[in-house]
A and B are shown apart, each in its own frame.
Chain A
Amino acid sequence: MYRYDDYDRALVKARVDQFRDQTARWQAGELGDEEFRPLRLQNGLYMQRHAPMLRIAVPYAMISAAQLRVLAAIAREEDKGYAHFTTRHNLQYNWIPMARVPEVLARLAEVEMHAIQTSGNCIRNVTSDQFSGIAPDEVVDTRPLAEIIRQWSTFHPEFAFLPRKFKIAVHGAERDRAVVQVHDIGLHLYRDDKGEVLARVWVGGGLGRTPILGEIIHEGLPWRHLLSYMEAIIRVYNLEGRRDNPYKARIKILVKALGIEEFRRKVDAEWASLKDGPATITDAELARVSAYFTAPAYAQLPDTDADYEARLASDKAFARWVQQNVHAHRVPGYRAVTLSLKAKGQAPGDITDTQMDAVADLADAYSFGELRSSHEQNLVLSDVELRKLPELFDKAKALKLASSTVGLLTDIICCPGGDFCDLANAKSIPIAKAIMERFDDLDYLHDIGELDLNISGCMNACGHHHVGHIGVLGVDKNDEEWYQVTIGGRQGNDTRLGKVIGPSFAAADMPDVVTKLLETYVSLREPEERFVETVVRVGLDPFKLSVYGESARDRANKKKEAENG
């Protein structure tokens, strides 16, 4: 993975010094709360319900065992012994006192980590595919260009005070695992028939209050023009994006207001003078950064193993884990393994300090000391020998990191919600926990099959509820927490936004609602048909009927009785 050179190190250290100074000036009253606010946000520091929340960047999902150990130590010594992986690869602490943050950032800088631009109205941490560099369907390894984008966007002088946050995602495989269409800029890297890397550029996607899928603004952009082209997009946005209403300030609103044709015309006019200018990425720079992402020293292995096969045949639990949590790898004899952070009773994405230490040990022992964080809020050991899978399973199970549910109903994506977040309208973790409690029968979960259940505690949609096969959105009605349900959303190449099935529900009803949705699916599904495909085929009505039918009938009956006196 990328390692800092003297330049990176000096910049991150300067950032720590700068933030230490800013914090001191704020404490001394030289900086007002309002003036300090964007400065702390651009260092990942929010004021939350109970305490500050500090969000650490995990650029394009890559994290080393050494880094994870420091994250564990910080959780233990500065926080309450746990941390939370987000839907954008990042890691959040919830209880670090404000005054300690500069020290924590200094400690992170020593292992080449930071919290730069993990919040605020600026270019955020670039996200990507957690299987970059190893996926069999990968066409372009996104990591070198993602790192180049990270550096370009870091302390960008012109784009530190955009109308609103700005998220860039990049994928380079046949299957999009980075949900690029719901980002302000989504990049799909591919190759032309000469092998040259090109980008399909999507713009104006985003979830939140007004969910919109991005539109293609440029097809076939050669990789060397990525920075200058994005500079043109963001300059037009910076100048013309709305600043009168934060809910209308994302680039998606501007693109919709102008129309993609007009927006493209403006971007092209801006780009005309930038194209082939100094921002053009050089072959030497791509080669320099790519050299950090060479393949590890893989052993020459057969793509099978007798002990592995024997365990697979004899141990149903292991077989299930392999089926759900073990992923194909481009190198024979290797697999990628998802360590699930979705054990029953656990807040999705949460991990304790001891688990982090143990995962770091697993990464050292089984995966060349590197791992990934997925936007589904799990961890991935990217390069595990097939023959080591049985022992890894046993160890992961002992650590409660082997729930064989990756991609299933209880692999819930869930924001921290009202338990922690100041923005939330409703709690989300208790909903996730209640659903995990209800559906803990693995046979049933496997029978239901692939199902993305995503929960957000408010319109900001950190839990990506719009693209869940089942999406749950917490809403506030007269100071009560209610939950609106959507179905039919999906991520991937055919990203779609889910549709609302009807009036919202009380928290206590949510497991029943999910049960009814699943019963409907089971009764209607055709062989090999996933939940979301059944929704597409039969439409919303059968699901609505099963969920609302009875109560609607009850209401109708009561009305009738009342009328009959």
Chain B
Amino acid sequence: MAEILKNGQVHSDNWQVLHLEADTDPAAQTVAPGQWLVPFNVWVAQRDAFKTRAGEIGVWLSATDDLNAVAAEFAAWPLVAIDFPKFTDGRGYSIAWRLRNHHKYTGELRAIGNVLVDQLFFMLRVGFDTLALDPKVSTEIALKHLTPFPDTYQGSTDNPEPLFRQVDRVLGGARS
């Protein structure tokens, strides 16, 4: 049982992340019973077999996975995760944005990997709704740092409207 952050609270969660074993053909990778986030290439290789495990198989994406060919099938996934191999690798933000805005994925989108405190605000903005913190991060500290800024100048997935469309910024005027 792992803890994740969702809607500003800690939730328990049974999803486990499956990594492709070394030298294993994605088609031959075994997936034990239970709720599993499988690598994209495993899902592609075994997608028909997974149809019998509805609600149990989610997909985790790395930056190099090409989603375009399977965009129509996202809706069936109960959970998509995007892996941050290192917190300084910012591709996950744009992948999440595209998944939400181009591919119109509306299900749960989870950040996994090197998910640290000071990037959570950005992750929530681009379209993640659940955050699986890096094990070394304190959940308590993370919860205090979800919204460091009161407003946002530019639009993103959470609110596509830039500040200038959200509020009337009268010249030199006070906050409305």
- CB pair B148–A156 under 8 Å, yes or no, is no
CB-CB under 8 A for A158 and B150, given A239-B95, A273-B102, A279-B155: no
In the assembled complex, how far is the CB of residue B157 from the closest CB belonging to chain A, in whole angstroms? Answer: 9
- CB pair A155–B88 under 8 Å, yes or no, is no
- CB pair A291–B153 under 8 Å, yes or no, is no
Q: Which residue of A lies closest to B116 (CB)?
A: A35
User: Quick check: is A22 within 8 A (CB to CB) of the other chain?
Assistant: yes
- CB pair A5–B172 under 8 Å, yes or no, is yes
Kindly list chain A residues whose C-beta atoms are within 8 Å of the C-beta of B116.
35
CB-CB under 8 A for A239 and B94, given A6-B175, A282-B164: yes
Q: Which residue of A lies closest to B123 (CB)?
A: A157
- CB pair B118–A292 under 8 Å, yes or no, is no
- CB pair B175–A278 under 8 Å, yes or no, is no
Interface string of B143-166 (1 = CB under 8 A from A): 001001111111110001111110
- CB pair B87–A35 under 8 Å, yes or no, is yes
User: Quick check: is A160 within 8 A (CB to CB) of the other chain?
Assistant: yes
**Which positions 134-149 of chain B face chain A at CB distance < 8 Å?**
138, 141, 145, 148-149
State A11–B101 Cα separation when bound (angstroms).
26
- CB pair B162–A14 under 8 Å, yes or no, is no
Among A6, A31, A155, A282, the residue within 8 A (CB) of B174 is A6
- CB pair A160–B122 under 8 Å, yes or no, is yes
Among A11, A38, A281, A292, the residue within 8 A (CB) of B171 is A292
**Which positions 233-247 of chain A face chain B at CB distance < 8 Å?**
235, 238-239, 243
Q: Which residue of B lies closest to A14 (CB)?
A: B149
- CB pair B175–A10 under 8 Å, yes or no, is yes
- CB pair A7–B175 under 8 Å, yes or no, is yes
In the assembled complex, how far is the CB of residue B127 from the closest CB belonging to chain A, in whole angstroms? Answer: 10
User: Quick check: is A559 within 8 A (CB to CB) of the other chain?
Assistant: no
**Which positions 8-47 of chain A face chain B at CB distance < 8 Å?**
10-11, 14-15, 17-18, 21-22, 25, 30-31, 35, 38-39
In the assembled complex, how far is the CB of residue B115 from the closest CB belonging to chain A, in whole angstroms? Answer: 12
User: Quick check: is A277 within 8 A (CB to CB) of the other chain?
Assistant: yes
Kindly list chain A residues whose C-beta atoms are within 8 Å of the C-beta of B174.
5-6
- CB pair A151–B88 under 8 Å, yes or no, is no
User: Quick check: is B93 within 8 A (CB to CB) of the other chain?
Assistant: yes
**Which positions 93-146 of chain B face chain A at CB distance < 8 Å?**
93-95, 97-98, 101-102, 116-119, 121-123, 125-126, 138, 141, 145
User: Quick check: is B47 within 8 A (CB to CB) of the other chain?
Assistant: no
User: Quick check: is A135 within 8 A (CB to CB) of the other chain?
Assistant: no
- CB pair A238–B153 under 8 Å, yes or no, is no
- CB pair B163–A7 under 8 Å, yes or no, is yes
- CB pair A152–B154 under 8 Å, yes or no, is yes
User: Quick check: is B91 within 8 A (CB to CB) of the other chain?
Assistant: yes
Kindly list chain A residues whose C-beta atoms are within 8 Å of the C-beta of B98.
235
Q: Which residue of B lies closest to A153 (CB)?
A: B154
- CB pair B164–A10 under 8 Å, yes or no, is no
Query: Chain B interface residue count: which class?
Result: 35 or more
Kindly list chain A residues whose C-beta atoms are within 8 Å of the C-beta of B123.
157
In the assembled complex, how far is the CB of residue A475 from the closest CB belonging to chain B, in whole angstroms? Answer: 29
State A444–B119 Cα separation when bound (angstroms).
56
Among B93, B138, B156, B169, the residue within 8 A (CB) of A161 is B93
Q: Which residue of A lies closest to B88 (CB)?
A: A161
Q: Which residue of B lies closest to A158 (CB)?
A: B93
- CB pair B101–A273 under 8 Å, yes or no, is yes
User: Quick check: is A95 within 8 A (CB to CB) of the other chain?
Assistant: no
Kindly list chain B residues whose C-beta atoms are within 8 Å of the C-beta of A30.
138, 141
**Which positions 283-324 of chain A face chain B at CB distance < 8 Å?**
284-285, 288, 291-292
Query: Chain A interface residue count: which class?
Result: 35 or more
CB-CB under 8 A for A278 and B165, given A7-B151, A30-B141: yes
Kindly list chain A residues whose C-beta atoms are within 8 Å of the C-beta of B175.
5-7, 10
Among B97, B125, B138, the residue within 8 A (CB) of A235 is B97
In the assembled complex, how far is the CB of residue A117 from the closest CB belonging to chain B, in whole angstroms? Answer: 12
State A38–B117 Cα separation when bound (angstroms).
13
State A281–B162 Cα separation when bound (angstroms).
9
State A152–B165 Cα separation when bound (angstroms).
12
Kindly list chain B residues whose C-beta atoms are within 8 Å of the C-beta of A156.
154
Kindly list chain B residues whose C-beta atoms are within 8 Å of the C-beta of A15.
148-149
Kindly list chain A residues whose C-beta atoms are within 8 Å of the C-beta of B151.
7, 10-11
Among B63, B97, B154, B164, the residue within 8 A (CB) of A284 is B164
Kindly list chain B residues whose C-beta atoms are within 8 Å of the C-beta of A21.
145
State A11–B89 Cα separation when bound (angstroms).
25
State A551–B117 Cα separation when bound (angstroms).
60
Q: Which residue of B lies closest to A160 (CB)?
A: B122
- CB pair A5–B173 under 8 Å, yes or no, is yes
In the assembled complex, how far is the CB of residue B83 from the closest CB belonging to chain A, in whole angstroms? Answer: 14
**Which positions 247-290 of chain A face chain B at CB distance < 8 Å?**
273, 277-279, 281-282, 284-285, 288
- CB pair B169–A5 under 8 Å, yes or no, is yes
State A281–B164 Cα separation when bound (angstroms).
8
- CB pair B161–A278 under 8 Å, yes or no, is yes
- CB pair B160–A39 under 8 Å, yes or no, is no
- CB pair A11–B87 under 8 Å, yes or no, is no
- CB pair B125–A277 under 8 Å, yes or no, is no
- CB pair A161–B89 under 8 Å, yes or no, is yes
- CB pair B169–A7 under 8 Å, yes or no, is yes
Among B91, B117, B141, the residue within 8 A (CB) of A239 is B91
Kindly list chain A residues whose C-beta atoms are within 8 Å of the C-beta of B163.
7, 151
Kindly list chain A residues whose C-beta atoms are within 8 Å of the C-beta of B94.
158, 235, 238-239
In the assembled complex, how far is the CB of residue A152 from the closest CB belonging to chain B, in whole angstroms? Answer: 5
- CB pair A3–B172 under 8 Å, yes or no, is yes
In the assembled complex, how far is the CB of residue B158 from the closest CB belonging to chain A, in whole angstroms? Answer: 8
- CB pair B162–A38 under 8 Å, yes or no, is no
- CB pair B138–A11 under 8 Å, yes or no, is no
**16 extra interface residue pairs, beta carbon distance < 8 Å, beyond A6-B174, A161-B93, A288-B169:** A17-B148, A22-B118, A25-B117, A121-B90, A151-B153, A151-B163, A152-B162, A157-B121, A158-B94, A159-B90, A161-B88, A227-B162, A235-B97, A238-B91, A238-B93, A292-B171
4 nearest A-B residue pairs (beta carbon): A161-B90, A157-B125, A6-B175, A157-B122
- 25 A-B residue pairs with CB within 8 Å: A15-B149, A22-B118, A25-B117, A31-B117, A31-B118, A152-B162, A153-B154, A155-B149, A157-B123, A159-B93, A161-B87, A163-B90, A235-B97, A235-B98, A238-B90, A238-B93, A239-B91, A239-B94, A239-B95, A273-B102, A278-B165, A279-B155, A282-B165, A285-B164, A288-B164
Chain A interface residues (CB < 8 Å from chain B): 3, 5-7, 10-11, 14-15, 17-18, 21-22, 25, 30-31, 35, 38-39, 121, 151-163, 227, 235, 238-239, 243, 273, 277-279, 281-282, 284-285, 288, 291-292
